[in-house]
Amino acid sequence: MSNMARILAAAQKAKSNSSGDREEQYFYYPATDVSGNGSAVIRFLPGIEEEIPFVKYYSHGFKGAATGKWLIDNCPTSIEEPCPVCEANSQLYNSLTKEEARKYGMNRKTHFVSRILVVEDKKNPENEGNVFLYKYGTKIFGKIMDAMAPAFDDDAPIEVFDLKKGANFKLKIRKVDGQTNYDKSEFDAPSICKFNKDYSEDLNIQKFIARDSYKDFDTLKKRLDMVMGNTTRVKPEVRDDDAEIKDDDGFSARPPKSQSSRKEVSKSDDDEDDVMNMMKKLVEEDDDIPF
């Protein structure tokens, strides 16, 4: 199986899978102006040896109405283990409509993490030429998949994570109807990326799906019960003036005050668009990929 097909297959698994502060300084997010607009040019970098160049994981973040306490934790379903928050969320979905249940914010948020090279950052040129971790949501993930497996025959696929056959990504951030929007972001024409640098341990993307990054079921359940204020688990607070404003890539425009403003929270896995169906044939017919 070619490297391209391996990445596509991993993306298919990530799409269909149903199941720290120190790191934040390595996440990259372009500066935005007072209107919430910003831009940068980045390059998605390859993995180490046989490593898939991205990881996918889930998290939870919500506040209990009775206690005012926050539960902000990684979701164990990321590593195919049961999660008490997901179980509690399922109870909400069984007793309420889908729209009502979502207001309580207990659903999983989806994250992808890759290593990137900052090619151009006009507001912070000191970032140029440096490697960061980049956390993104389903909107940008969909653009990556569209580039690797285009829907139209006259669009040549791009090996996004390849230094020779990949392409720079023009990241364009806008405010549309009060929400952050990435629709104008796009890949440039394929070009060679002159990059020859070993990744430091701080840029290890596998740590986001390592077992020690997740609480065990009982520990997370105790935290959930504390946040809810009792063991019967009252419903969490419905967001109003303290609500998170979600953009179209799933990032939170108003994160909890205890978090850095650079932390992004991706939206529910239930809201993921089905961008992977078009990839199935390419994964199965690896020899037909024109690379």
Measured CA to CA, the distance from residue 286 to residue 206 in angstroms comes to 26
Q: Which domain holds residue 146?
A: 3-27+46-117+126-154+198-277
Cα dihedral 140, 60, 239, 236, rounded to 10, equals: 160
Query: Which residue's structure tokens are 């996918």?
Result: 56
Q: What average pLDDT score do residues 6-28 get?
A: 58
Q: Does residue 233 contact residue 88 with C-beta atoms inside 8 Å?
A: yes
The per-residue pLDDT of the chain, averaged, comes to 79
Model pTM?
0.71
User: How does DSSP assign 112-159, residue by residue?
Assistant: EEEEEEEEE-SS-GGGTT-EEEEEE-HHHHHHHHHHHS-SSTTSPP--
Is 240 contained in some domain? yes
Measured CA to CA, the distance from residue 291 to residue 289 in angstroms comes to 6
pLDDT tens for 187-218 read: 999 999 988 778 888 899 999 999 999 999 99
Is 36 contained in some domain? no
The one-character DSSP state at 271 is: G
Q: Does residue 268 contact residue 249 with C-beta atoms inside 8 Å?
A: no
More confident residue, 231 or 45: 45
Quick one: pLDDT band at residue 231, thresholds 50, 70, 90? low
The count of structural domains within the chain is 1
Give the domain CATH number at 209. 3.90.198
Is 165 contained in some domain? no
Would you state the pLDDT for residue 279?
A: 40
Across 128-142, b (16+ Cβ under 10 Å) vs e yields eeebbbbbbbbbbbb
Q: What average pLDDT score do residues 258-269 get?
A: 35
Quick one: pLDDT band at residue 246, thresholds 50, 70, 90? very low
Measured CA to CA, the distance from residue 47 to residue 229 in angstroms comes to 43
Is 243 contained in some domain? yes
Is 217 contained in some domain? yes
Residue type, 127: N
> What size, in residues, is the chain?
291
Is 86 contained in some domain? yes
Q: Does residue 145 contact residue 155 with C-beta atoms inside 8 Å?
A: no
Would you state the pLDDT for residue 111?
A: 96
CA terminus-to-terminus distance, the chain: 12
Is 179 contained in some domain? no
Q: Which of 212, 173, 193, 204 is nearest to 40 (CA)?
A: 173
Query: Which residue's structure tokens are 């596509």?
Result: 8
pLDDT for 262 beyond 50: no
